[in-house]
Chains A and B, each alone.
Chain A
Amino acid sequence: DSGVTQTPKHLITATGQRVTLRCSPRSGDLSVYWYQQSLDQGLQFLIQYYNGEERAKGNILERFSAQQFPDLHSELNLSSLELGDSALYFCASSGALAGGAEQYFGPGTRLTVT
């Protein structure tokens, strides 16, 4: 158990819909990261937040957005969903902003768009 929790574990929704994925980092970790894992794209970094502020952006679509709240939990919002958005979405956390900080991954949310 990494200490990172994600909800829900599974999510099935239709195209065009909007969903929110939730992540609670390990106690004391200020950095939260979101990743998407699909069969054809592998594990892709989406975005990093540190203590409530966005700090790094990866291959995140404009239809996707994220935020980190004062209690440090984070949410990833996916809107206008397409079939290709079906994937595993992982949240990770670390204690540091940058450099060599081990990231601890949550169990993931499996999103299926039908």
Chain B
Amino acid sequence: GESVGLHLPTLSVQEGDNSIINCAYSNSASDYFIWYKQESGKGPQFIIDIRSNMDKRQGQRVTVLLNKTVKHLSLQIAATQPGDSAVYFCAENRSEGAQKLVFGQGTRLTINP
């Protein structure tokens, strides 16, 4: 069935450390993947995306890695800050001619001082 899942529901890291959030997807036909951040009481906020013809993309303090062989996606956050505490969702786009995102269940990232 359809599934975009996360390996860990919670992750705690020390401030200043790097964090890695993982995601497994099931549809090899998906061509676009996105990471969203959701802070308490707010809507999801776009962090970074990657197309299926890439295996790595970097942003400001964030890197997304895509391994199509094992259908795995990861989000790396460098030098974590208290403001990075949030729930992180991966999502995949599965519909050609439209945009139908399938979201994972989310990982709660907690930054410890």
CB distance from B16 to the nearest CB of A (A): 29
Instruction: Give the most central of A33, A100, A105: most B CB within 10 Å.
Output: A100
Closest to A57 in B: B100
Q: How large is the interface on B (under 10, 10 to 19, 20 to 34, 35 or more residues)?
A: 20 to 34
CB distance from B56 to the nearest CB of A (A): 16
Question: Cβ of B104 and Cβ of A100 under 8 Å apart?
Answer: no
CB distance from B97 to the nearest CB of A (A): 5
Closest to A104 in B: B46
Of the candidate stretches A11-19, A64-72, A78-86, A91-99, the one touching chain B is: A91-99
Q: When A and B form their complex, which 8 residue pairs have the shortest distance between CB atoms, in order from nearest?
A: A105-B43, A56-B98, A43-B103, A55-B98, A56-B100, A100-B32, A105-B44, A42-B105
* B residues neighboring A (CB under 8 Å): 31-32, 34, 36, 42-46, 49, 51, 89, 93, 95-106
